[in-house]
Amino acid sequence: MRTLPIIIASMLAAPAAAQSSAIQFTEYDLDNGLHVILHQDASTPIVAVSVMYHVGSKNEEKDRRGFAHFFEHLLFEGSENIARGEFSKHVERAGGVLNANTTGDRTYYYEVLPSNQLELGLWLESERMLHARVDQKGVDTQREVVKEERRQRYENQPYGSILIEVLKRAYKEHPYQWPTIGFMEDLNAASEADYQAFYKKYYVPNNAVLVITGDFDPTAARTLVAKYFATIPKGANVVQPSIMEPPLEGEVRDVVYDRIQLPAVVTAYRMPANGTPDFYAVDLLNRLLSNGNSSRLNRSLKDEQQKAVYTGAFSLPFEDPGLTIMFAIANAGVDIKALETAMDAEVDRIRDQGVPAEELEKLKAQLETEAVQDRSRVAGIAGNLATAYMLLGDTKLVNTELDRYLAVSSEDLKRAANTFYNRKARVVLHYLPMSQKNP
Amino acid sequence: MNRHRMITARSRATMIAGGLLLPALMTAQLDRSRVPVPGPAPVVNMGAHTTFLLPNNMRVIVVENHKLPMVGVQVRFDIPPMIQGGRAGYIDLVGDLLAAGTPTRDKATIDESVDRMGASLFTSNDGLYANALKKHLDGLMDIVADVITQPTFPEVELEKARKRAMSEVQQRQEDPGAIADAVGRAVTFGNFHPYGEVTTEKTLRLVDRAVLIGYHRKFFRPEKGYLVFVGDITEKEAKALAKEHFGKWKPKQVSHVVNDDGTETIEGIGIVQPWKHVATPAGPRRVVIVDRPGAAQSIVRVGFPLNFQPKDLRALNAQVMNTILGGGVFNARLMQNLREDKGWTYGTGSDLQADRFNGSFHTTANVRTAVTDSAVVETLNELLRMRDEPVTTEELELAKRYMAGSFARSLEDPRTVARFALNTYLNGLPEDHYATYLKRLEAVSIADVQAAAETFLYPDNAVIFVVGDRASILPKLEPLSQISDPAVIELDHNGKPYEEELERVKDRTAEQIIEHYLEAIGGRSAIATIRDMRTEITTELGGEATTLTQWYGPNNQYRSLMKVKGNSVQEEVLDGMRAVRKVPAQPDEELFDIDLLDLKQNAYPVPEVFIKDNVERLILSGSTMIGDRKTYKITMMTNAGTSLNDYYDAETGLKLRRVDLKYMYGRNLKIITDYSDYQPAGGVLFPRSLVQSGGPVGSMTMQVTAIEVNKPQAVGFFNTGLPAVVDE
C-alpha cells in the first residue's frame, strides 16, 4: 500500500526527471544578424555569457597562419570604453571567470558571472564585438605571450608536436594543414592594417552567436541583449572557405625525432565532416578503440600484449572533413614496428569481423552517461548550444545528437571501418628518441 | 484605490515601452562608457548533507541533488603520509591496482562491467571515486564494495603496472613538466619526506605484492573510512546501500609496533621509518637545476615548505594574499608582471597549499630561456613586495569578490557540498567553516593580508628550482643563490645528484673519434698550415668587461694577456720549453711540473693534433646524450695528471663539451666548458661561443670575438724573460 509521503515524494520527483530529459532553450535573431540562444536554469545563481564567432584557422590566409588564435589573445586587450588590462578586471572584480579558445572553425569567448552581473557580461561582449581596440603594446606583448604558449604546449612537451606533424602531412590544400597556434614568422609579419581588416571581416554580429545560460529572467535578458547588441552594425556576409581537399594519394610515412624516451606510433585517416551520418560511425569507432579500460586498444595493447603504456583514438570534429587519429606510446623495449602491427591488427579486426551487438550497447551506455553529464554545468551547456547552432546548423542537436549516435548499427561500423580506415590513404608517423637519429 | 491606480499606470508604461518606445529610448540612452551596475547580489545557497555512522564506524555522507539522474560515489580513507624508503612508488601502485582484481572478478571483468554501465571508476591510494546513471547504481556499488574491501593485487597485474610505471619513469626524463613536479616536490620537502620521495626504476623493482596487500589491510579500514553519495539518491536509499555493501565489513586488526631504534614494524608492510619532522622554510636561498640541454623554455619554481594547516585561523587571510600574488586570477601580480607587462610567459601563478600534515608554497612560470634569471628576480620581488607593502584596496576587493564568486560557482557541482563535509571531518574544521566562509572572507583586511604575507612567504629561504638549459642559464642564476660550493645544486631527472648515463660503444675507437673531429674541423693538412694564431675572447668577470688575448706560435710557443676594464691583470708566456706567469705588482713566477705541462699541452691552436704526446691514456668511455645530440665521451689522463673528458658529436664530429677535473685553490673543481657556433678561420673551424661553469670564478659565457691566422709575431715576442738555467 502506498503511504502518503511516498506519493508526495514521487510527485516531487517527477518534474526533476522531466527537467533533466532535455535542455530547454529559445533562440532568435537580431536585425543585424546576431543569433541569440537563451537557456534558463536557476539551480545556481550564476550566469554564463558566451559568444562564438565563425572564424578559425581555416579562415586564415596562407601567410597569416595563427591569426585567428592571435586575435583571441588580442580581444582581451580592451575596447573604446575599456582600457588595456581592464577587461579581465571587470569580470574578476565581479566574482566571475573568463576565457576563450580557438579551433580550426571557430573562436569562442565566455564569462561565467554571478547572476546579478548578466548586464556586465553583455556589455563586455558587445564592446568586444563593436569596437575592440588594440594598442601596439598589446600586440607586441601578446605576440611574445603566444610564442611562449607555442613553446610550452607544443615544443617543450614530449609528443607535443604530434598534431602539427600530422596536419601538415594530412592536408595539402585545406588550411587545416596548419595548427591554430600558427607560425611566429606570420604573426611577426602582420601589420596593423591586417588586424583591422580581419576584425572588420569576421567580428560582426551576423557571424556570431550569443548564448546566455543559467539563472536569469528571460524577458529582462532579451531587453538587455537588444540594448547592447542591437545597434552593432551588420557586417558584410562572411563566406566560409570551400576548399575541397583531394583524397590522400597513398600512405604518407615519416619519422619524427623528438625529445622522448619511448617511441610512439601515430596513424591518421581522413574522416567525414562533423554532423554527417558517417561522422558518428567513425567517432563511435574511436570510442570502441579507446574509451574506457575495456576498450580495444587499452585491453589489447596495454593489458594483454603489454606493448603500450598509453593508447588513444580520437576524432578531430571539423566542419570540413577532419581526421581520426590513433596514437600509442610503446612500453620500454617494445619494437615500434610491432606496436604499429598491433594497432593495425585491431583495425583489421573491426574491418573483417565488425562489432558485436553487445559491444555496441556498451558504447551507447557510455554515450548516454556523457549526454547527462554534458548537462551538469551552465558554461558547458552554453558551449554545446553555440556549437550545435554554428557548426552543426541546428541548435536542437544539443538534445538530439545522441539519437544520431544511437542510430548507428553494427553494420554501419563495419562499413565505416572499411571505408575510412584506408591504409592506402593515411599518415603514419613514428616518433623516435633523438638518440636513435643515425649519425 | 490609490494603490490600484498606480499599478495600472505602471503596467501601461511597461506595455508601451515594451512595444514601441523602448528600443529607440535605449539607443538614445545607452552610454557605453558606463559600466553596468549590478543588481543585489544573489543569495548563495550552500546545499546540505546528511551523515550517519555504520555499526563498524564507517561514516556515510549523503548529498541529495536530483537535477540529473546521476549518482557519484566516493570512498575515502584517512591515511597518514608514510615514508616509502627504497620502495618509493608502492603507494601509487596500490591506487593503480585497487581495481585490478578481487576474489570473484579479474581486471578484465571489472573493466568490462564498469564500461557496460557507462560508468566511471577512478582509484587512488586512499580510496576511489565512481559515478553512473542512477539506474546502474546497484551494479556500480557491487564493484565499488568489492574493490574496496577485498582487492587481491594479482601478481600478473602488478608486473604489468610495474612495467608501465618504469616506462613512465624513463619518459619523465624527457618531460620538463613531469620533472618539475616530481623533483620540485623533492626539492621542497627533501628526499626523506613522504611528499618528497621520487619514484625511480630502482625503487619500483623493490615493490612486491605483499606490501600492497599490507598497505591495504593497514589503512583501508571502516573506522577510518568515509562513504560519500552525491546526486540522485535519497538518504534512505543511501542508508540501504551503505548497510548492504559495507555494513558487515570488519577487517582483522593489523599489528603495529614501535621498535627500540625508533623504527616501526607494521604487519604486512615491514619496517618503516616513521615520518615526524614537518618541513619548514629553512636555510639560505639556493638554486637547484635539472639540465635540459637546448631547451627553449625554462620551468621556474620558487618555493618552500610550510607548517600550514587548513584549520589555521589565518588560512583565509593567506589565501586572499595568494590570490593577489598569483592564485587563479588573471589580474594577480605575477601574471600581470611576467605575462601582461613583460610577455615572458604564457602563464604563471602561485600555489599556497594548506595541508594538515605539511603545507607548502611555490610559484611556477614557463619562461623563455633568455629571461630565466629575470623571471626569478621578478618573482622574488613580488614575494618581497607582498611582505613589505600593503596591497591596494582595489586589489583586495578584486581578490575577495573573485573568491566569493568562485565559491558560489563551485556550488553548481553537488560534489562540492560533499567535499566540504569531507574536508570538515578530515581537517578537523569547525562545523560552520564553510557556512561562514563568505562572511569571514568579507572581513579580511589589508592588514590581515600583509600579516599573512609576513607569516607565510619566505623569499630568503626559498629554493629556486629551474628545469632548463643549464649552459645558458647557470651563469646568470649563480648570483641569485646565497650558498656557495656550489652555488647551484645540479640534480638529475630523479632528483639525485647528477650522474651521467653512458652506453658502451663497440663500433669505433677513441682514436677514430679524434680523427673524425680533426677531419670535421678541416682536416690535419689544413690545421698544419696554421703556424701562428691570435684569438680574442671577451666575457664579463664580476660585472666587468674582460678580454683574453692568446697568441700561438710555432713549436709550442704561446702567450696570453688578460685585461679587465682595459687593465692588464695577468700575462703568461711559454717559449716552447719554459713558462712564466706575470701579475702586476708581483714578482714573475715560473711555472713547473703540473702547471707547466698543463699549459704546454693546451698551447696549440688545435691540441688534439698532438694528443699522443700529451696524453697518457685515451679511453672511449661511451656514448651519452647532450641535449638532443648523441655524443662520444673520450676520457684522457694527461701527463699533467689532470683528467679531461671531451664530448664529440656523433653526427658532426665536432667537440661539444669538455669537463676538466682538477685540483685548484685547495679544492676539487669540475670545470665544464660547452662549445658552440663553429666558424672557419684559416680553413679550420673553431667554436666562437664558450660557456664555462664550475671554475674558480663561477660561470661565464665567453665570445670569441676575433681569430687571426698566420700573422707571425716579432722575434722575441715569446721570450719569457727568465734567467737561463745553468746545468749543474
Nearest to A157 among B41, B177, B404 (CB): B177
Nearest to A45 among B366, B408, B413 (CB): B408
Minimum CA–CA partner of A12 in chain B: B66
Alpha carbon distances (Å) from A304 to A224, A294, A326, B107, B154: 59, 11, 18, 11, 14
Cell of B512: 677514430
* Cα(A315)–Cα(A104) distance, integer angstroms: 13
φ/ψ of A19, rounded to 5, equals: -60, -35
Q: Evaluate whether A297 touches A303 at the Cβ level (below 8 Å).
A: no
Give the mean pLDDT of chain A: 92
Nearest to A292 among B30, B111, B628 (CB): B111
Instruction: Check B625 against A434: CB less than 8 A apart.
Output: yes
Strand pairing category for B286-291 and B463-468: parallel
Q: Is A45 on the interface with B (CB under 8 A)?
A: yes
CA atoms A15, A18, A22, A26: torsion sign: negative
ipTM of the complex: 0.90
Which residues in chain A have their CB less than 8 angstroms from residue B70's CB? 369, 372-373, 376
Which residues in chain B have their CB less than 8 angstroms from residue A218's CB? none
Q: How far is A351 from chain B (nearest CA, A)?
A: 22
Maximum distance among all Cα pairs of chain B, rounded to whole angstroms:
136
- Does the pLDDT at position A377 exceed 70? yes
- Does the pLDDT at position B645 exceed 50? yes
Architecture of domain B50-175+187-272: 2-Layer Sandwich (3.30)
Residue numbers of A between 160 and 199 with CB closer than 8 Å to B = none
Tell me, what DSSP letter sits at residue A207? G
Cell of B687: 667554436
Cell of A107: 573562436
* Cα(B432)–Cα(B426) distance, integer angstroms: 14
* Cα(A385)–Cα(A399) distance, integer angstroms: 9
Q: Do domains B286-491 and B510-709 have the same CATH topology?
A: no
Instruction: Check B171 against A148: CB less than 8 A apart.
Output: no
Q: Is A116 on the interface with B (CB under 8 A)?
A: yes
Q: How far is B653 from chain A (nearest CA, A)?
A: 9
Tell me, what DSSP letter sits at residue B284? S
This model's pTM is above 0.90? no
Segment (H or E) for A390: helix A378-390
Q: How far is B611 from chain A (nearest CA, A)?
A: 25
Confidence (pLDDT) at B664: 67
Higher-confidence residue of B336 and B502: namely B336
Using DSSP, state whether B685 is helix, strand or coil.
strand
Instruction: Check B66 against A13: CB less than 8 A apart.
Output: yes
Q: Evaluate whether A145 touches B346 at the Cβ level (below 8 Å).
A: yes
Interface probe with A: pick from B30, B44, B68, most Cβ of A within 10 Å:
B68
Alpha carbon distances (Å) from B180 to B161, B175, B435, B453, B478: 23, 9, 37, 25, 19
Instruction: Check A368 against B173: CB less than 8 A apart.
Output: no
Which residues in chain A have their CB less than 8 angstroms from residue B120's CB? 369
* Cα(B694)–Cα(B211) distance, integer angstroms: 43
Q: How far is B295 from chain A (nearest CA, A)?
A: 7
Residue with cell 645558458: B472
Q: How far is A383 from chain B (nearest CA, A)?
A: 17
Instruction: Check A148 against B367: CB less than 8 A apart.
Output: yes
* Cα(B652)–Cα(A437) distance, integer angstroms: 12
* Cα(B670)–Cα(B465) distance, integer angstroms: 22
Nearest to A329, CA basis, from A162, A164, A165, A166 = A162
* Cα(B432)–Cα(B410) distance, integer angstroms: 18
What digits encode the pLDDT tens for the residues A203-262? 999 999 999 999 999 999 999 999 999 999 999 999 999 999 999 989 999 999 999 999
Which amino acid makes up residue A21? S
What digits encode the pLDDT tens for the residues A95-142? 999 999 999 999 999 999 999 999 999 999 999 999 998 778 888 889
CATH classification of B286-491 is 3.30.830.10, yes or no?
A: yes
* Cα(A235)–Cα(A131) distance, integer angstroms: 13
Which residues in chain A have their CB less than 8 angstroms from residue B19's CB? none
Instruction: Check B406 against A97: CB less than 8 A apart.
Output: yes
Which residues in chain A have their CB less than 8 angstroms from residue B230's CB? none
Is the bond preceding residue A233 a cis peptide, omega within 30 degrees? Answer: no
Confidence (pLDDT) at A8: 35
Instruction: Check B116 against A362: CB less than 8 A apart.
Output: yes
- Does the pLDDT at position B319 exceed 90? yes
Q: How far is B212 from chain A (nearest CA, A)?
A: 20
Beta pairing partners, B258: B264
CATH classification of B510-709 is 2.50.20.10, yes or no?
A: yes
**Domains of chain A and CATH, by start:** 25-229 (3.30.830.10), 252-436 (3.30.830.10)
pLDDT band at A1 (very low <50, low <70, confident <90, very high): very low
* Cα(B228)–Cα(B60) distance, integer angstroms: 6
| Residue A266 CA from chain centroid, whole number | 20
- Does the pLDDT at position B8 exceed 50? no
User: Between vectors from CA B649 to CA B645 and to CA B651, what angle results, nearest 5°?
Assistant: 155
* Cα(A240)–Cα(A237) distance, integer angstroms: 10
What digits encode the pLDDT tens for the residues B64-121? 999 999 999 999 999 999 999 899 999 999 999 999 999 999 999 999 999 999 999 9
Instruction: Check B297 against A156: CB less than 8 A apart.
Output: yes
Minimum CA–CA partner of A99 in chain B: B330
Q: Evaluate whether A39 touches A27 at the Cβ level (below 8 Å).
A: no
Which amino acid makes up residue A220? A
The mean pLDDT of A17-42, rounded to a whole number, is 87
Instruction: Check B408 against A95: CB less than 8 A apart.
Output: yes
| B653: alpha, beta or left? (left if phi > 0; alpha if psi -120 to 50) | left
Which residues in chain A have their CB less than 8 angstroms from residue B397's CB? 93
Query: CB-based burial of residue B370 (10 Å sphere; 0-12 exposed, 13-18 middle, 19+ buried)?
Result: middle
* Cα(B94)–Cα(B77) distance, integer angstroms: 13
The mean pLDDT of B515-534, rounded to a whole number, is 93
* Cα(A151)–Cα(A132) distance, integer angstroms: 28
Which residues in chain A have their CB less than 8 angstroms from residue B35's CB? 90, 120, 123
- Tell me the domain boundaries of chain B: 50-175+187-272, 286-491, 510-709
pLDDT band at A6 (very low <50, low <70, confident <90, very high): very low
Beta pairing partners, B550: B535, B560
Q: Is A356 on the interface with B (CB under 8 A)?
A: no
Confidence (pLDDT) at B628: 76
Instruction: Check B170 against A262: CB less than 8 A apart.
Output: yes
Residue numbers of A between 1 and 30 with CB closer than 8 Å to B = 9, 13, 16-17, 19-20
Nearest to A222, CA basis, from A30, A371, A73 = A30
Confidence (pLDDT) at A5: 35
Higher-confidence residue of B496 and A366: namely A366
Instruction: Check A362 against B650: CB less than 8 A apart.
Output: no
User: Can you state the percent helix, strand and coil of chain A, rounding each to 5?
Assistant: 50, 20, 35
Q: In what side-by-side order are the strands of the sheet with B70-77?
A: B50-53, B59-64, B225-231, B70-77, B127-133, B120-124
* Cα(B164)–Cα(A333) distance, integer angstroms: 11
b/e burial code for range B279-308 (CB count within 10 A of at least 16 → b): bebeeebbbbbbbbbbbbbbbbbbbbbbeb
Confidence (pLDDT) at B633: 93
Give me the helix-helix angle, A86-93 and A118-131, nearest 10°. Answer: 170
Residue B231 CB contacts under 8 Å (≥ 6 apart), including other chains: B63, B64, B65, B66, B68, B70, B71, B72, B131, B134, B414
Minimum CA–CA partner of A300 in chain B: B108
The mean pLDDT of B8-29, rounded to a whole number, is 41
Nearest to B564, CA basis, from B694, B681, B700 = B700
Instruction: Check A227 against B115: CB less than 8 A apart.
Output: no
Q: Is A119 on the interface with B (CB under 8 A)?
A: yes
Confidence (pLDDT) at B114: 98
* Cα(B586)–Cα(B565) distance, integer angstroms: 20
Residue with cell 653526427: B651
What digits encode the pLDDT tens for the residues B153-196? 999 999 999 999 999 998 888 899 999 999 999 999 988 899 99
What digits encode the pLDDT tens for the residues B529-570? 999 999 999 988 777 888 999 999 998 999 999 999 888 989
Please count the CA atoms within 13 angstroms of the CA of B601 that sit on its side-chain side.
21
- Does the pLDDT at position B4 exceed 70? no
Beta pairing partners, A407: none
Confidence (pLDDT) at B698: 65
Higher-confidence residue of A42 and B700: namely A42
Nearest to A95 among B45, B116, B402 (CB): B402
* Cα(B711)–Cα(B697) distance, integer angstroms: 32
Which residues in chain A have their CB less than 8 angstroms from residue B44's CB? 45
pLDDT band at B453 (very low <50, low <70, confident <90, very high): very high
Q: How far is A427 from chain B (nearest CA, A)?
A: 25
Q: Evaluate whether A413 touches A360 at the Cβ level (below 8 Å).
A: yes
Cell of B711: 700573422
Confidence (pLDDT) at B410: 95
pLDDT band at B668 (very low <50, low <70, confident <90, very high): low
Instruction: Check A148 against B368: CB less than 8 A apart.
Output: yes
Give the mean pLDDT of chain B: 90
Residue A404 CB contacts under 8 Å (≥ 6 apart), including other chains: A277, A280, A397
Cell of A128: 568586444
Alpha carbon distances (Å) from B293 to A20, A65, B173, B629: 54, 29, 12, 9
Tell me, what DSSP letter sits at residue A132? B
The mean pLDDT of B381-396, rounded to a whole number, is 97
Instruction: Check B408 against A114: CB less than 8 A apart.
Output: yes
| Residue A121 CA from chain centroid, whole number | 23
Q: Is A149 on the interface with B (CB under 8 A)?
A: yes
Minimum CA–CA partner of B120 in chain A: A292
Residue with cell 650558498: B483
Q: Evaluate whether A348 touches A285 at the Cβ level (below 8 Å).
A: no
Q: Evaluate whether A181 touches A146 at the Cβ level (below 8 Å).
A: yes
Instruction: Check A119 against B160: CB less than 8 A apart.
Output: no
Cell of B280: 619548514
Which amino acid makes up residue A368? E
Instruction: Check B330 against A365: CB less than 8 A apart.
Output: no
